[in-house]
């Protein structure tokens, strides 16, 4: 019997509390998601029953831990439709994945005069690694422009991606504007020009079905904690032939094949990238989170969030003095909604909302060039997940109205 979407909320004990004497309304999911009991229990079970180091013990616990650790690779591969489990590299998160592509693939394939193309939408973790790579190699970092509503400008993409382009790296879903990029189209463009396509999946993997083959990406990175796994675990997927060719970045235990006094050979991918003892409990938690999401079905998760956006976006736009960034058409807007209130700094707004029990993010969202593009210093941001409901969205709308009232009338 399939559970109703409204029933999943009960799996998250953290949501059942009051904050500042008000029921908690957690709308900071783009920063990190809450963890269902199933994930916490999987980690507890691992520590209570199976804890051992992986890949190197002959004893039973080591074997059990290794099996669980490696089984998650299969789950991840299936979850993002990767053709092979050996293309799944464990990382500590999206940032590390993108940094590895820049530092390992980038420094061996990018030369002076080459172009690296990203967009104005990018999170700093899909911007700074490329900036550093460009600086180190003498490559040129170029930006794809956005349309006035924040969608990627495909004309600009066609102009920016040229035969000199070595790497195109884009986010699949914006952590600020709620837009979802047409990765398949951009990947086709990149490949026409002999470039590779790198995708930042931090904001997309938790919210809708991801298929790395269908989008024809070359690398895809995402974080566990945004899809209800613990912090400190993430995945870098890469095409086998590209991973095979990449030098490891961390040398030491576990990643080696044979060590002699003056030379060492390494294991094959993905293990050559996983030097040192890995975040084993994190991997187990990631497996449990993927099981949890798969049991619900990503299509249902997406549909649920879209229904909330269909209510929330127009409701916010109706409040006088509220500016919503990104597309105003709910069909083009995922569950990340950035906004400002006229005459109020988003930090003041976020503090006021917190007093009403509503947790939102305020700031530049690690996207300072995008803030500059929007011509704002910062925004407030509400972001949804599968356990949010209509009451949460309504409470946000009410709390914003109350905040406006408070600051407009100086009730002090």
Partner 1 sequence: MALSKLENLYRQMILDHAMHPHHYGFLKAASHKLELRNPTCGDVLNVQVILKNNKVAQVAFSGSGCTISQASASMMTDEVLGKTPQQIEKMVTTFSKMVTGNPPQNYEEILGDASVLEGVAKFPARIKCATLAWKAIYQALANDQQESTVGFMRHDQ
Residues that bind partner 1 (CB under 8 A): 20-22, 344-348, 351-352, 354-357, 362-364, 368, 371, 377-378, 402-403, 406-407, 410-412
CB of 103 to partner 1, least distance (A): 23
Closest to partner 1 by CB, 91 or 403: 403
Is the distance from CB of 307 to CB of 335 less than 8 angstroms? no
Q: If DSSP codes are grouped into helix, strand and coil, which group holds residue 64?
A: helix
Beta-bridge mates of residue 144: 119
Structure tokens at 247: 């030098």
Residues 6+ apart with CB under 8 A from 45: none
Residues 6+ apart with CB under 8 A from 260: none
Structure tokens at 242: 């590209």
CB of 345 to partner 1, least distance (A): 4
Q: What are phi and psi of 96, to 5 degrees?
A: -65, -40
Closest CA to 177 of 328, 393, 399: 328
Beta-bridge mates of residue 58: none
* Catalytically active residues, by annotation: 366
CB of 347 to partner 1, least distance (A): 4
Closest to partner 1 by CB, 186 or 370: 370
CB of 378 to partner 1, least distance (A): 6
Residues 6+ apart with CB under 8 A from 247: 104, 108
CB of 148 to partner 1, least distance (A): 23
Closest to partner 1 by CB, 260 or 411: 411
Task: Report the C-alpha gap between 305 and 295 in whole angstroms.
Answer: 17
């Amino acid at each position: 019997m399939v559970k109703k979407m409204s029933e999943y909320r009960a799996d998250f004990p953290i949501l059942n509390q009051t904050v500042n004497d008000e029921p908690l309304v957690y709308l900071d999911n783009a920063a990190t998601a809450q963890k269902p009991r199933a994930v916490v229990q999987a980690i507890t079970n691992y520590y209570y029953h199976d804890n051992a180091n992986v890949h190197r013990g002959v004893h039973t616990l080591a074997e059990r831990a290794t099996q669980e650790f490696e089984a998650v690779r299969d789950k991840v591969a299936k979850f993002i439709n990767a053709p092979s489990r050996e293309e799944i590299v464990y990382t500590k998160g999206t940032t590390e994945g993108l940094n590895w592509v820049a530092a390992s693939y980038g420094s061996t394939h990018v030369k002076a005069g080459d172009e690296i193309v990203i967009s104005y939408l990018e999170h700093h973790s899909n911007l700074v690694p490329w900036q550093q790579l460009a600086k180190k190699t003498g490559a040129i970092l170029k930006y794809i422009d956005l349309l006035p509503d924040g969608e990627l400008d495909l004309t600009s993409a066609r102009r920016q991606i040229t035969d000199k382009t070595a790497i195109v790296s884009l986010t699949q879903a914006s952590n600020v504007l709620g837009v979802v990029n047409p990765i398949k189209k951009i990947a086709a463009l990149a490949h026409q020009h002999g470039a590779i396509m790198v995708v930042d999946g931090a904001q997309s993997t938790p919210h809708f079905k991801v298929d790395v083959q269908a989008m024809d990406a070359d690398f895809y990175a995402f974080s566990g904690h945004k899809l209800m796994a613990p912090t400190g675990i993430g995945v870098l997927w890469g095409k086998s032939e590209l991973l095979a060719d990449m030098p490891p970045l961390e040398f030491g235990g576990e990643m080696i094949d044979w060590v002699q006094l003056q030379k060492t050979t390494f294991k094959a991918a993905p293990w050559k990238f996983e030097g040192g003892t890995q975040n084993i409990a994190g991997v187990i938690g990631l497996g449990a989170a993927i099981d949890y999401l798969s049991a619900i079905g990503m299509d249902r998760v997406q549909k649920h969030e879209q229904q909330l956006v269909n209510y929330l976006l127009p409701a916010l736009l109706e409040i006088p003095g509220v500016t919503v960034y990104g597309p105003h058409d709910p069909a083009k807007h995922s569950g990340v909604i950035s906004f400002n209130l006229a005459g109020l700094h988003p930090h003041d707004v976020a503090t006021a909302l917190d007093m009403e029990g509503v947790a939102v993010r305020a700031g530049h969202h690690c996207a300072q060039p995008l803030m500059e593009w929007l011509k704002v210093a910062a925004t407030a941001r509400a972001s949804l997940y599968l356990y949010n409901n209509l009451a949460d969205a309504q409470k946000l709308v009410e709390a914003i109205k109350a905040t406006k009232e408070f600051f407009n009338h100086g009730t002090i």
